[in-house]
Amino acid sequence: MMKKPVNIAITGAAGQISYALLFRVAAGDLLGADQPVILHLLEVPEAMHALKGVVMELEDAAFPLLADIEVTDDAETAFRDADIVFLVGAKPRSAGMERRDLLQDNAHIFSRQGQALNAVARHDVRVLVIGNPANTNALIVQRNAPSLPPESFSAMSRLDHNRAVSQLAAHFDCGVADISHMTVWGNHSSTQFPDIHQLRIAGQPLVQPLDTVWYLRTFIPAVQQRGGEVLAARGKSSAASAAHAALCHMRDWVLGTPEHDWVSMSVISDGSYGVTPGLVFSFPVRCRQGRFEIVRGIELNDFSLDRIRLSEQELLAERDMVAHLLPH
């Protein structure tokens, strides 16, 4: 017997990331080959004509799991009874744009979307913020949806996590599936800290001494700056890799992480590892039965703690810049 359809809302639905995401969700790559979905697609009025073309393609693909498509330019209509929400839509970062400018441009979008979620979404909704600056946008959304549990909200650091895993697999000459216990701490920005001090390869801890020159001068900058390199190369921000990371993030959140590993998710800090409570910060997490839990008890050296504090300070500064949009 076919399951009851899951309501999935996606904002910025005519954009590049959503275009790469929608067809995989409709095909069952998110929730499995036996789970029907209803897509709730949100766009700004001026993009509705382009979205019509995307809907036509979804229809033409004849996905057996796609139970219905609803299209709207109203956030409350899109989020009504939503089970899963991907907040993709945001003003994209362009070459030369300062992070402060991007934050100010997008802050009002996410405050309004938080209010809409608060009004009409299911109480057990799962909301993933992808539009940048994702961590602080997620904080804005969460604070504007006070009737929903804080654990309903997360921001995406999975793209950074995936980038780091790919770099590590190449360096250690192994498959990406062999890499585990890798963590991205902090903000989705150039202050993020890709941490390999707990790294395992094929289930085994590193035995050779860490090449600190490679780690400091090659690996960390490569992960931190990869988004900018993609933007410089193609003239547009990451799209397909971002969509894949969003799908991985939400699939693990709903269906669970691997038994003996963790993933990186930006979630509301509960004070773990000394991070200011309330910030949306990337931690190592495990997911079980639709819920995430920050991994406890990781021993951090002074170098790691310094990097974590640097990213925390950036997030505190971003929080202060949008304080007027953060209801108490």
CA distance 164 to 132: 19
* Catalytic residue list contains 188: yes
Mean pLDDT of the chain: 93
Summarize pLDDT for 225-246 with one digit per residue, the tens.
898 888 889 888 889 999 999 9
Summarize the confidence of residues 31-36 as an average pLDDT: 96
Q: What is the pTM of this model?
A: 0.94
Confidence tier at 132 by pLDDT (50, 70, 90): confident
Q: Which of 188, 197, 260, 328 is catalytic?
A: 188
What Å distances lie between residue 21 and 175, 190, 236, 309, CA to CA? 25, 25, 17, 33
Weakest mean pLDDT among 83-92, 177-186, 271-280: 83-92
Mean pLDDT over 203-228 rounds to 88
Give the integer Cα–Cα distance in Å for 273 and 72.
42
The answer to whether 17 and 243 are in contact (CB under 8 A) is yes
What b/e string do you get for 270-299 counting C-beta neighbours within 10 Å, with b at 16 or more? eebbebeebbbbbbbbbbeeeebebbeebe
Average pLDDT, integer, range 124-136: 94
Over range 270-281, report the average pLDDT: 97
Does the pLDDT of residue 209 top 80, yes or no? Answer: no
Asked if 51 contacts 269 with a C-beta cutoff of 8 angstroms, the reply is no
DSSP states of 143-212: HT-TTS-GGGEEE--HHHHHHHHHHHHHHHTS-GGGEES-EEEB-SSTT-EEE-TT-EETTEE--SPP-H
